[in-house]
Structure 1
Amino acid sequence: MNTRAAVVQGVGGCVPPRSVDNNELSTRLDTTDEWIRERLGIARRHVADGISTVDLAVEAGARALEMAGGRFGALDVVLLATTTPDRLCPASAPEVASRLGYTGIAAFDVNAVCAGFVHALATGNALIRGHMADRVLVIGADVFTTLVDPGDRLTASIFGDGAGALVLRAGTPDEPGAVRAFDLGSDGSAVAAVEVPGGGARDRLGMPLANQRPYLVMDGPVVFQRAVREMTASSKRVLDKAGWDVESVRRFVPHQANIRIIHDVAGKLGIGPERVVANIEDVGNTVAASIPLALADAHDTGRLAAGDRVLMTSIGAGLAWGSAVLTWPELHGKARL
């Protein structure tokens, strides 16, 4: 039996300073504050302006490391979950690691879109449990507004930019902060449900594409249906793997897709609204940053306490989904300034 576990030692988050509320959007789009709030549960979102994915990732990572005790040891790996790297080549994680003061260590990107952070967290967990690393920094960061058609009232209302991070260290499964189980999955037959079709290798090769626009294309009804179905099923599977019943979950932290998806998944799981962590009203859907940014905000507002059982679940383009469970550690300091 493996007595080694990945244990959370720090959390950090950040968003760009520029905030765009619904009223500002309504001045250029056929929408209203009431329509966005009712359908999506969003009042405002933060938009990168002269700030890149790497910039946000470095800031969130630095805050998580500071909470963990600064340079708490020889960091072994930096994992960056992102769909919006600063460059198509190379990956952004090595630059993030370098700017944080770590050179010569492993650093790589993980792309599972909105499910990216859970997939990166699973990778970090596996590296620690497999004795390939003792300390891992896992970051989710996206400036997804760069992939959104500014004239599309739905997607322009949904997405915001941001970053969130967790520091993991090697520990034991019975510690507060220990990551307990994962459930990961995908369905590539639904790739067209949500995609950015233009700009990739197929486009550059001149291969046939139904749509070559470099903006997000989303089939809203299909995405809603699959999100609710897969996040609910994945949550149940990961709870079974951990040997937890849903009543023992203190905090449910879903991907902040939209408020109706959040409520539907929680309702199907039998989780009351008092246990749901949601910050979508203030930040929108921040893609790979969604779950760690929600954890950072929940920590800062006192909604997470040492020993709390936490269930996280997500789904993103691909389709790819992932869920994880952990117990929350005792952490001190602010995750977001």
Structure 2
Amino acid sequence: MPNAPFVSKARISALGTYVPERIVTNDDMSRIVDTNDEWIVQRTGIRERRYAREDEYTSHMCIAAVQNMIDRHGVSVHDVDHIIVATHTPDLPFPSVACLVQAHFGIPAAGAIDLNATCAGFVYGLHHANALVTSGLHRKILVIAADTLTKITNFEDRTTCILFGDGAGAALVEQTDGEGAFLAHHLGSDGTGGPQLYRTGIAATLNGQELGGNGKLVQNGREVYKFAVSTVPKGVDALLARTGLSSADIDGFVPHSANTRIIESICERTGIPFEKTLCSNEYYGNTSAATIPLALQLGVDDGRVKPGDLLLLYGFGGGLVHAGLIVRWG
């Protein structure tokens, strides 16, 4: 049976994050395109975002997030045996960002791969790490989610450039002798929706359709909204049904922080109170794969996320893809 539940033997043991120093406010955006603070806040919930330096790339942010994790928790990455970096904005087509991270920290014996599930990347990365650890193939996996979206943003498109920022998050997924932290997963995709959110590369056509964008991100916001608010609630229902839980049992809902209006609509359809939702877009913008770990870190820092809490993580984005997990924190 696809997505059948199994007994996890993995837990998330540490978390760290990074955002660039440069703050770009809505007033700053109004000097780039025809917009204003009120218009942006009402439609997206975003007030600020962070921009990477011209010479700062995804690997630099990944390394900074891992170092933050080490500093916060006193953990070592020297014995990590696999590295997964979730990104769709790698420094280079190859070598992978994961290899650049491995080299920086001098990790002696680790597999290294980049995973592209766009804005669902962190959830996909955790899911794969859980499977590899639970199967016994690996013991300690470094999962990093990072994107430098400002490198691929079209700053002449007022409907998309206001959304995006840069950031990174890192987590350790380790084998545990006790009960694993991963209770349920739900994954899905709809490749027919690819033309609604894409970036051109070697090919300039998709599903027989000519694409524009010149290597910049292109998004049909209305269609992505429809995909998210119709797909994510069904995925949430599937996760709850698989575990026998109700929405009231969830201590924290951590969706991809694409847009506050999308999240509010998802909450209305799932019955999860918006007050239980952890978001990172208000002051970091839409950081793609990094929004969920950034929101988690904010929740940990302000006490909204506590050891033992049941968290429901749900990512969605280009592909179109989506992925959800229920995990026990700490």
TM-score, shorter chain, exceeding 0.5: yes
The answer to whether the 8 A contact 1:231-1:321 is kept is yes
Partner of 2:176: 171
* Correspondence for 1:113: 118
| Unaligned segments of structure 2, at least 5 residues | none
TM-score between the two structures when normalised by the length of structure 1: 0.91
TM-fit CA distance, 1:85:
0.3
Note the alpha carbon deviations across 1:116-167, whole angstroms, 9 max, x for none: 1111111111110111111111110000111110111121110100001111
CA displacement at 1:212 relative to structure 2: 5.1
Match of 1:148 among 153, 160, 166: 153
1:301 corresponds to: 302
Superposition map of 1:92-241 within 5 A: 92-172=97-177, 174=179, 178-197=181-200, 200-203=201-204, 209-211=210-212, 213-241=214-242
Cα offset, 1:73, TM superposition:
6.1
- What secondary structure does 2:203 align onto? helix
Amino acid at match of 2:156: G
Residue identity opposite 1:39 in structure 2: R
- What secondary structure, in the 3-state scheme, does the structure 2 residue paired with 1:201 have? coil
- Residues 23 and 325 of structure 1: is their aligned pair in 2 closer, same or farther, counting only changes over 3 Å? same
1:19 aligns with 2:48: no
Task: Determine if the alignment matches structure 1 residue 89 to structure 2 residue 94.
Answer: yes
Q: CA deviation at 1:221?
A: 1.1
Alignment equivalent of 1:51, drawn from 52, 56, 73: 56
Against the structure 1 CA distance between its residues 275 and 319, is the aligned structure 2 distance closer, same or farther, given a 3 Å change threshold? same
Q: Is the 8 A contact 1:6 1:168 kept in 2?
A: yes
User: CA shift at 1:208, angstroms?
Assistant: 7.7
Give SS of 1:234's match. Answer: helix
Tell whether the 8 Å contact from 1:54 to 1:92 is kept in structure 2 after alignment: yes
Contact 1:3 1:172 in 2 (8 A): no
Name the CA shift for 1:208/1:302 in 2 (closer, same or farther; >3 Å): closer
Aligned pair in 2 of structure 1 residues 240, 283: CA closer, same or farther (>3 Å)? same
Q: Give 1:76's match in structure 2, choosing from 73, 81, 84.
A: 81
Contact 1:77 1:137 in 2 (8 A): yes
Q: Given the two structures, how large is their TM-score scaled by the length of structure 2?
A: 0.93
* Equivalent residues, number: 323
Q: Residues of 2 paired with 1:19 and 1:35: CA distance?
A: 19
CA distance 1:173–1:258, shift in 2 (3 Å): farther
Change (3 A) 1:296 1:23: same
Cα separation, 2, equivalents of 1:314 and 1:231: 8
Q: Distance in 2 between matches of 1:227 and 1:238?
A: 16
What CA deviation, in whole Å up to 9, does each residue of 1:62-97 have, x standing for no partner? 222344432166111111000000001221111112
Q: What is the rounded CA distance, in whole Å, between the counterparts of 1:280 and 1:311 in structure 2? A: 18
Are 1:284 and 2:285 counterparts? yes
Task: Tell me the secondary structure at the aligned position of residue 151 of structure 1.
Answer: coil
Task: Measure, in 2, the Cα distance between the counterparts of 1:260 and 1:318.
Answer: 21
Instruction: Tell me how far 1:243 sits from its aligned partner.
Output: 2.7
Matching residue of 2:246: 245
- Aligned-partner SS, 1:10: strand
- The answer to whether the 8 Å contact 2:8/2:183 transfers is no
Aligned partners of 1:16 and 1:162 also within 8 Å: yes
User: Residues 208 and 240 (structure 1 numbering): CA distance in 2 closer, same or farther, change over 3 Å?
Assistant: closer
User: What is the CA-CA distance between 1:231 and the residue it aligns to?
Assistant: 1.3
Q: Give the counterpart of 1:9 among 7, 13, 24.
A: 13
CA distance in 1, matches of 2:65, 2:91: 16
Superposed CA deviations along residues 255-301 of structure 1, whole A, max 9, x for unmatched, are 00100001111111111122111221100110010111111111111
RMSD over equivalenced CA pairs, Å: 1.8
Aligned positions of 1:319-330 closer than 5 A: 319-329=320-330
Displacement, 1:101?
Answer: 2.5
Which deviates more, 107-116 or 64-73? Answer: 64-73
Unaligned runs of 5+ in 1: 330-337
Contact 2:256–2:316 under 8 Å retained in 1: yes
